[in-house]
Chain A
Amino acid sequence: MTSFDAIVIGCGHNGLVTAATLATAGRKVLVLEAGKEVGGAARTEEFAPGFRGSSVAHLLNRLHPDVVKTLELEKHGLKIARADFIPSVALSKNGPPLVLHGAYGEVLTGASSSEQSAWRDLRAQLLRYAGILKPFLSRRPPDLDGMSLLETASLGQTALALRKLGKEDMRDFLRVLLMNVADLLDEQLEDIRLKGLLAFDATLGCHLGPRSPTSLLGLYYRLAGETGGAAGAQMLPQGGMGAVVAAIRASAERAGVVIRISAPVAKIVVEKGRAVGVTLDNGEELRASTIVSAINPATTFLDLVGPREIDTGFVRKVKNIRMRGDAAKLNLALDRPPQFTGVDAAGHNGRLVIAPSPDHVERAFNPSKYGEFSQEPVMEITLPSLADPSLAPGGACVLSTVVQYAPYALKEGWVAGKPKFLKAIMAQLEAYAPSIGKSIVHAELLTPADIETRYRMPGGHWHHGELQADQMLMSRPVSSWSGYDTPIEGLFLAGAGSHPGGGVSGAPGLNAAWRIIAMGR
């Protein structure tokens, strides 16, 4: 039997990135995937006969350039061109929508000229500030216990970048850093449609409303991402998100990575504080000197390693990671493309957002604090089959939407709540795309509970842990252990639960691989 230097648990995109990077550096790597398919929550799946869509993640807006470069993804089938950038459309029930064109609104249409100039200023400022944080994405979080010279130097560069902002700008950066997004928007903008869209983007995927303290960080996180070299740009990958994963997989296999599907890991074997292998649920034991867990950190430690092999304080920290998802995914199979009021053909190819105002987003958030879903949910909608007809039968259409707020721990339970929530979502859609309801062939609603079961993501949280100030950087996934290594020697984390966080970026996976290589393993 072939022996491996490293075993990667979980074949989501981060697991694949780690495996490919390690293999490129000469390691023999085996990836074990519990499910029947690779890709985790970044797959293209058939959800109704003839209808395919990106199962959870549907927009590419933060695949890290280092990942694209290191894995040579463009050689392996990934196409990123400026022409693929899609606009964001802030839908409006009455009147024309407001549209952010290019890379996160290089051009704004549908707003007054004074609002356009206010937006230019705000956009520039947001990108400048997000740019300060951007270098953190591609390195280990600062280590308070002692950093290498290189790490200290790169932190120094951040300080330098901060100084380069100039005195006024630096002060303002620090002033707004932990603000809520709604207050910042109120300082600079007038148009509630534009503010609604930004408030939605800042809170998407988090258990935060626009008026929750620190909610601005979510917007920075989004804008620290880039596509094709343009910050904030977004695109719908041809073939769905599964095609992105296919490119990463091709790169990994080219480098010699072996992937085994339907091979769920039951246990990480620990001997005298050192990870030495894994046991599959069929009892098969596989050994390697480096074990990488690219799955959820809580699952890794509480289930696969088990509390007996780790210290009580660490168990406490892991148990305290907040990871209850608050977003649902709705995939609709439609017999014809929907018509959103006032939106032109280009707009329909874009990202359509229902978030009419920051107040509306805040009101949608309120019930989720008490275990109830939004009666008037906010959402982002894409129609991927318009640009990629292979996803739907001729003349038919796929509608893919991320909806919030849908608290994981719904008070009435999701069995009872799901049909009611679907009704609430459809009522919203109907208001913006009249008679869309009549064109539905099939509706697949994935609540956080469904996402948890289907994609093995505890809490159904796509970041594998709330992405908020207290769970970022050196506190992600837990304090003292944020640098991809763990209290178990030879065991590393590489998933979205680690710094910098979720989204199809590959950054945690890449950083983890670099850490493993730097440690000479």
Chain B
Amino acid sequence: MNRHVKINSARIAAQSHFRTLRLGTPFQPRIDALAKTQDWYNWAGYRAPHSLWDEELEYFAIRSQAALFDISPMTKYRIEGPDAEAFLDRVTLRDVTKLRPGRIHYTAWCDDEGFVLDDGTLFRLSPTRFRLCSQERHLPWLLDSAIGFDVTVKEETEAVAGLALQGPTSFAALRDAGFAGVEKLRVFDLADFAHDGSTVTISRTGFTGDLGYELFVPADKALSLWDRLMTSGELHGIRAIGYTALNRARLEAGLIVANADFTTAEHAIRADRLRMPDEIGLGFMIDLEKGHFNGRRAILAARAKCKLRHVLVGLEIEGNIPAEHAIVYHKKSGEVGLVSAAMWSPMAKRNIAIASLARPYGDTVVEDLWVEIYAMRELQYQKLMKRAKVVARPFIKLERRTTTPPADF
């Protein structure tokens, strides 16, 4: 009886995690201090800010200053070993043998049926060491994929803290923080720099379509890195921001978000929600010339049998009312799709959206498309039928994103 009680109390003690409903990231003390709006959301189990003080101004911090965004909750895997390259070549769509050490590429991966499990960024840290960053968690899938490969796969989401520093003055802030040589980084380059007796990996990447960087440090060096950037960035207008601002910037950049613009295969309950890369604008990643990769057979078959039923497009919509989650019509009558993200773009000066359409609409039939916007006006919907035009993504192209060395704003 006593033993029973003991085991129970030990178990209860070990279960105390449930008392913390949302985890804090390694940057939480700093973010909490700045969180004037107390506007939180759940990002993969972490307490993450929608906004910190003003979502409009936070957005403009990205476009005119330097915005600091905590990306620690992003799922990160460390993939290491002699077969790491071959392993990732089999798991992901793009040709990993073409990814040189010190480089990053945006990629995606599929299940056997060719449906997208997730998209993410792959960092090649050395010839035999990689970091895979993604929205969802994939450890069982990656471990089962490692069967037959000399490779280890470890989840390092908690161990590694991450920051995105984005905006025109982001380079100046980094330079003034003393990261000598950071000016040499071209888009999708990465390099290690000394920080607080440890190392920070800085890459010229981001989710904004702007000049920007991402920084990864061991969790225990997170706060000193934050302070270092905030200090050096002070005169460059550095501001901490929340997700709402970032989400606008990514939409202008035409970037998609898993489980917002498409449903990942392991989350989809309804069979018609599954998407192949070709159906969400990721067909360019598919490399049929490289060796075998997950989903190859199914993707080839779907292409051959014309079984690709959907297409993801950028839309420009007349007027200035955001068409968020609006239904897309052909000839104002037949439903042909849905808008997954929309905004009035201050940079493009256009009303933009990302939408998923049922082929042939958006593919071969692009004329006479409309969206129906329900605008709430004092407890009444005003229904607006607005013309939509399929346009290329990204919606904005900023020269400063790619100019190397970056200009000193």
Q: Which residues of A contact B (CB under 8 A)?
A: 270, 272-273, 302, 306-316, 319, 487, 489
Q: Distance (Å) between the CB of A270 and the closest chain B CB?
A: 7
Q: Which of A273, A313, A315 contacts B300 (CB 8 A)?
A: A273
Closest to B83 in A: A308
Q: A308-B86, A319-B147 are in contact. Are A313 and B112 (CB under 8 A)?
A: yes
Contact between chains at A311 and B112 (CB < 8 Å):
yes
Q: Distance (Å) between the CB of B355 and the closest chain A CB?
A: 30
Contact between chains at B292 and A270 (CB < 8 Å):
yes
Of listed A273, A307, A487, residue having the most chain B CB within 10 A: A307
Residues of B within 8 A of A307 (CB): 90, 147-149
Contact between chains at B144 and A309 (CB < 8 Å):
no
Contact between chains at A313 and B90 (CB < 8 Å):
no
Residues of A within 8 A of B295 (CB): 311
Q: Which of B86, B112, B296 contacts A273 (CB 8 A)?
A: B296
Listed by A's residue number, 13 A-B pairs whose Cβ atoms lie within 8 Å are A272-B288, A273-B296, A302-B147, A307-B149, A308-B148, A310-B292, A311-B111, A311-B296, A311-B297, A312-B91, A312-B141, A313-B294, A314-B112
Residues of A within 8 A of B90 (CB): 307-308
Q: Distance (Å) between the CB of A316 and the closest chain B CB?
A: 5
Q: Secondary structure of the B side of the interface? A: loop
B77-100: contact bitstring with A at CB < 8 Å (1 yes, 0 no)? 000000000100011000000000
Closest to B291 in A: A308
Instruction: Tell me the bound Cα distance from A302 to B144 in angstroms.
Output: 13
Q: Distance (Å) between the CB of A128 and the closest chain B CB?
A: 39
Contact between chains at B294 and A306 (CB < 8 Å):
no
| 3 tightest Cβ-Cβ pairs between the two chains A and B | A307-B148, A313-B112, A311-B112
Instruction: Tell me the bound Cα distance from A513 to B292 in angstroms.
Output: 27
Q: Distance (Å) between the CB of A171 and the closest chain B CB?
A: 33
User: Interface residue count for B (Cβ, 8 Å)?
Assistant: 20
Closest to A306 in B: B148
Residues of A within 8 A of B147 (CB): 302, 307, 315, 319
Residues of B within 8 A of A316 (CB): 144
Instruction: Tell me the bound Cα distance from A487 to B144 in angstroms.
Output: 18
Residues of B within 8 A of A270 (CB): 292
Residues of B within 8 A of A272 (CB): 288
Residues of B within 8 A of A302 (CB): 147-148
Residues of A within 8 A of B64 (CB): none
Residues of B within 8 A of A312 (CB): 91, 111-112, 141, 144-145, 294
B294-322: contact bitstring with A at CB < 8 Å (1 yes, 0 no)? 11110010000000000000000000000
Q: Distance (Å) between the CB of B148 and the closest chain A CB?
A: 3
Residues of B within 8 A of A313 (CB): 111-113, 294
Instruction: Tell me the bound Cα distance from A302 to B111 in angstroms.
Output: 18
Instruction: Tell me the bound Cα distance from A143 to B11 in angstroms.
Output: 48
Q: Distance (Å) between the CB of B313 and the closest chain A CB?
A: 29
Instruction: Tell me the bound Cα distance from A457 to B291 in angstroms.
Output: 30
Closest to B147 in A: A307
Closest to B141 in A: A312
Instruction: Tell me the bound Cα distance from A319 to B90 in angstroms.
Output: 18
Q: A273-B297, A302-B148, A487-B297 are in contact. Are A308 and B292 (CB under 8 A)?
A: yes
Instruction: Tell me the bound Cα distance from A314 to B113 in angstroms.
Output: 10
Q: A273-B300, A302-B148, A314-B112 are in contact. Are A309 and B292 (CB under 8 A)?
A: yes
Instruction: Tell me the bound Cα distance from A307 to B292 in angstroms.
Output: 10
Residues of B within 8 A of A311 (CB): 111-112, 294-297
